[in-house]
Amino acid sequence: LMGEDSSYNRRDLNINIPADPSGTTNIIPVDYVAKAAVRLIEDPNNHNRIFHLTHPDPPTHQWTLDLICERFNLGGFRFAGAGAPFTQPRNRVERMVWRQMQAILFHFSNNPGFDRTNIDSALPDLKVPQITEDLVHKYLDYAIERDWGHSGN
């Protein structure tokens, strides 16, 4: 779409995101979730308790956005702050971006906190892997390879 109209600069899209840049993206590797779930289930002391399988040091929205923009050669996204109004797209490029962001926008605009007390005490030896640029690129490669879940594979 941006290639069709030379007036659009993919590095300066001028799009506001209604979220706080210091908010966090709660992402954890599925391998950690699987190991933690099995160990929690196997220990009867953990039954009838609530465990928040979350990252103790999640990346900020700004870090995540910067990484995604670099990966896809995009720019001009700015955080408008928590509680900022959702604005209607002004043009075709904004409509395309908003459609793509609809699935994840809730995670940027809603920034819940989680109590890790139970999980940390039940599994003190099971450390959550750091979320690194390499790990995010690995996840993005997989998503692209699978057409973002639409390929049927």
Q: Using the CB atoms, write b or e for 91-110: b if 16+ within 10 Å.
A: eebbeebeeeeeeeeebbbe
- 82, 25, 70, 8 alpha-carbon torsion, rounded to 10°: -40
Which class for 50: exposed (0-12), middle (13-18), buried (19 or more C-beta within 10 A)? exposed
Tens digits of pLDDT across the chain (153 residues)? 455 566 678 788 888 888 899 999 889 999 999 999 999 999 999 999 999 999 999 999 999 999 999 999 999 989 988 878 777 778 887 787 777 777 777 777 777 889 999 999 999 999 999 999 999 999 999 989 998 778 766
User: What type of residue is 44?
Assistant: P
The pTM (predicted TM-score) of the whole model is 0.80
Return the domain boundaries, the chain. Answer: 2-149
